[in-house]
Amino acid sequence: MLRSVILAASRSTRVERLVATAPFTRDVVRRFVAGEGTDDALRATRELVADGLTVTLDNLGEDVVTAEQAAATRDEYRTLLGVLRAAGLTPAAEVSVKLSALGQRVDEQLAYDNAKAVCVAAQEAGTTVTLDMEDHTTTDSTLDILARLREDHPSTGAVLQAYLRRTESDCRDLATAGSRVRLCKGAYKEPESVAYQAARDVDKSYVRCLNILMAGDGYPMLATHDPRMIAIGEDRARWFDRGPDRFEFQMLYGIRPEEQARLVAEGHTVRTYLPYGQDWYGYLMRRLAERPANLAFFGRALASK
């Protein structure tokens, strides 16, 4: 119920204005987002890499409605990739892109062209791109664009969401040599017709999908903070003899940093998903919807003002 309310608020411009202008917001945002500019992203990436982590950077933004906005996002990614390369932070750092921020809702070909330009820049910088997955109405389009991008840039990665009923089948299709798949539970409000609703069913689907990816020939990226899913991932890595160059764990910036450090110390590859940029509202609201403890953090920041 609470999750539904927050996810509904994540789409409200009125609530967005209220949250964005509230005095406590800055502290809350800072926990989950590196900052607003490329410099902030670079500084946070340096710190994470120095701690033995790898990084994927997300320039925050979604639901772009004009070709000009989409081009601006594309150019920000190209600038970022150049900066990361110049700082010697590739290939430890790669980028994650939302196709909606590259114009997917304006025109699929436009999103493909922009994503292709980002892939070219990533290749020049010696690193990779992973396509984030948004709500289920975009899944087919995103996987079609992924297939086209992989013709010239085979290391382009995809995100699959375990809460979707279709995802086991998508995992089977993508568990092939050279394919990089980030498996997460899923963060959007989806109807019962396409998505499991009970947390237990989502978890069971996550394990089935994890098994398919770990048994397959691709490169699994297990994106979760869930201790049970992480333990199962560690177990399957031993079973399938997958070392740190054959799969990785991924977590969001600011969430369970001590667990990220523990996994690094155990010898695993761990990638932190690092968002930055001005358009942080939708991202922040999805994080708050995921976990009541995050809301308590929000409340504490409010109370301290």
Give the nearest distance from C-beta 159 to ligand FDA in angstroms: 4
Pick between residue 42 and residue 57 the one whose CB is nearest to ligand FDA.
57
- Side chain identity at residue 161, one-letter code: Q
Pick between residue 78 and residue 98 the one whose CB is nearest to ligand FDA.
98
Pick between residue 165 and residue 256 the one whose CB is nearest to ligand FDA.
256
CA distances from residue 297 to 5, 81, 222, 276, 291 in whole angstroms, order as listed: 18, 33, 26, 20, 10
186 is in an annotated binding site: yes
Candidates 213, 118, 202, 119; CA nearest to 173 is 213
**DSSP of 136-157:** GGGHHHHHHHHHHHHHH-TT-E
Pick between residue 84 and residue 210 the one whose CB is nearest to ligand FDA.
210
43 is in an annotated binding site: no
225 is in an annotated binding site: yes
204 is in an annotated binding site: no
Pick between residue 66 and residue 169 the one whose CB is nearest to ligand FDA.
169
- Side chain identity at residue 210, one-letter code: L
Give the nearest distance from C-beta 246 to ligand FDA in angstroms: 18
Give the nearest distance from C-beta 37 to ligand FDA in angstroms: 22
Which residues of this chain interact with ligand FDA, rule CB under 6 A? Answer: 132-133, 159, 161, 182, 184-188, 223-227, 250-252, 255-256, 273, 290-291, 293-294
Give the nearest distance from C-beta 86 to ligand FDA in angstroms: 25
153 is in an annotated binding site: no
**Interatomic CA distance for residues 299 and 114, integer angstroms:** 39
Give the number of other Cβ atoms within 10 Å of residue 5's Cβ. 10
161 is in an annotated binding site: yes
Which H or E element spans position 180? strand 180-184
Give the number of other Cβ atoms within 10 Å of residue 280's Cβ. 23
Q: Which residues are catalytic?
A: 132, 182
Task: Kindly calculate the radius of gyration of the chain based on its CA atoms and give it in whole angstroms.
Answer: 18
Q: Which two tokens stand for residue 165?
A: 């009923």
Give the nearest distance from C-beta 211 to ligand FDA in angstroms: 16
Q: What is the DSSP letter of 249?
A: E
Candidates 56, 67, 97, 6; CA nearest to 282 is 6
Question: What residues are designated binding site?
Answer: 98, 133, 161, 185-187, 224-225, 286-287
Question: What residues are designated binding site for substrate?
Answer: 98, 286-287
Question: What residues are designated binding site for FAD?
Answer: 133, 161, 185-187, 224-225
